């Protein structure tokens, strides 16, 4: 009798273990895919992501080539007529002002790093990201010093640029970027650097209050990429002149 009870108990335990294993297997299958362990799945996702990046870069290069050909055509046509040539120059100027042209010229490069790891308390969070308002203040100071073009981690800063924190990084123009943050600004190098290094000013506070590692260097030929997002005006329209 006892042998029968023991066998029944063993059978029940085996059934229970079978059900648990089946549920766990199904859960893993739904999570990472049938026949794929998490490491393999992560590797496949990395490959797919790299493939998408390559496709994006290819399309971007093709677009740049087409834009270059269009500009050559426009310039060629403009040279045939003085009036059209002046219009072309105005268009180029406004495209540069709006951020839709790659620009180069003298200016400064600012590199901002988080404090050393042993100085950071409370996890792996970025001090710069948590205090990103200092980056916004830096952009304001640079703009006030008449910088003609600005970029942050290769993202062109324009009047439409958004800078918002998201899960330990910053979203700039819809692109995720993290430290170190490299700001490039075209303008008069001495004026730009002096405005940031003013005594007890912005750089001083970032270094002494947040212990950030900041380096500024002047360059005579800084290249700043163009703004790549297309802004459509859905609500704003030019004000129509009212005739008397």
Mean pLDDT of 122-138: 85
Residue 177, C-beta contacts closer than 8 angstroms, at least 6 positions apart: 152, 153, 155, 169, 170, 171
Cβ within 8 Å of residue 225, ≥6 positions away: 102, 151, 154, 155, 156
The per-residue pLDDT for range 1-28, each reduced to its tens digit, is 545 555 556 665 566 666 666 666 566 5
Q: What is the pLDDT of residue 77?
A: 63
Contact between 107 and 143 under an 8 Å Cβ cutoff? The reply is no
Cβ distance 108 to 219 under 8 Å?
A: yes
Domain interval for residue 199:
103-224
Residue 29 belongs to some domain of the structure:
no
Instruction: Of 195, 192, 191, 158, give the one whose Cα is nearest residue 173.
Output: 158
Instruction: Say yes or no: 63 and 108 in one domain.
Output: no
Residue 18's pLDDT is 63
214 and 110, same structural domain? Answer: yes
Residue with the bigger pLDDT between 81 and 239: it is 239
Please tell me whether the overall predicted TM-score, pTM, comes out greater than 0.75 for this model.
Answer: no
Q: Give 217's contacts (C-beta < 8 A, 6+ positions apart).
A: 108, 109
Domain count, the chain: 2
**Is the model more confident about 108 or about 72?**
108
| 145 in the same domain as 91 | no
Position 192 scores a pLDDT of 96
107, 217: one domain: yes
Same structural domain for residues 212 and 145? yes
Please spell the DSSP secondary structure of 117-151, one letter per residue.
GGG--SSS--HHHHTTHHHHHHHHHHHHTT-SEEE
Q: Would you say the C-alpha torsion 155, 161, 166, 170 has a positive or negative sign?
A: positive
- Any domain includes 32: no
Q: How confident is the model at residue 172 (pLDDT cuts 50, 70, 90)?
A: very high
**Predicted confidence band of residue 47 (pLDDT cuts 50, 70, 90):** confident
Smallest Cα–Cα separation from 128: which of 189, 51, 206, 71?
Answer: 206
**Better pLDDT: 192 or 47:** 192
- pLDDT interval class at 59 (50, 70, 90): low
């Amino acid at each position: 009798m006892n042998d029968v009870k023991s066998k029944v108990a063993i059978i029940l335990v085996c059934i229970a273990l079978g059900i648990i294993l089946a549920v766990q297997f199904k859960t893993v299958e739904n999570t990472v895919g049938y026949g794929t362990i998490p490491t393999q799945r992560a590797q496949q996702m990395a490959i797919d992501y790299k493939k998408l990046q390559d496709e994006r870069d290819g399309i971007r290069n093709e677009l740049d080539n087409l834009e270059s050909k269009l500009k050559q055509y426009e310039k060629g046509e403009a040279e045939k007529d003085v009036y059209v040539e002046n219009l072309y120059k105005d268009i180029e100027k406004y495209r540069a002002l709006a951020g839709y042209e790659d620009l180069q010229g003298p200016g400064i490069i600012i590199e901002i790093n988080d404090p050393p790891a042993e100085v950071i308390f409370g996890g792996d969070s970025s001090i710069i990201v948590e205090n990103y308002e200092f980056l916004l203040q830096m952009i304001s100071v640079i703009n006030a010093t008449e910088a003609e073009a600005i970029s942050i981690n290769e993202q062109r800063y324009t009047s439409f640029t958004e800078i918002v924190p998201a899960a330990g990084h910053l979203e700039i123009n819809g692109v995720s970027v993290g430290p170190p943050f490299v700001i490039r600004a075209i303008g008069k190098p001495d004026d730009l650097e002096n405005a940031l290094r003013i005594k007890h000013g912005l750089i001083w506070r970032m270094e002494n209050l947040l212990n950030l590692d900041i380096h500024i260097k002047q360059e005579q030929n800084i290249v700043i990429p163009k703004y790549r997002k297309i802004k459509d005006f859905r609500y704003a329209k030019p004000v129509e002149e009212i005739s008397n």
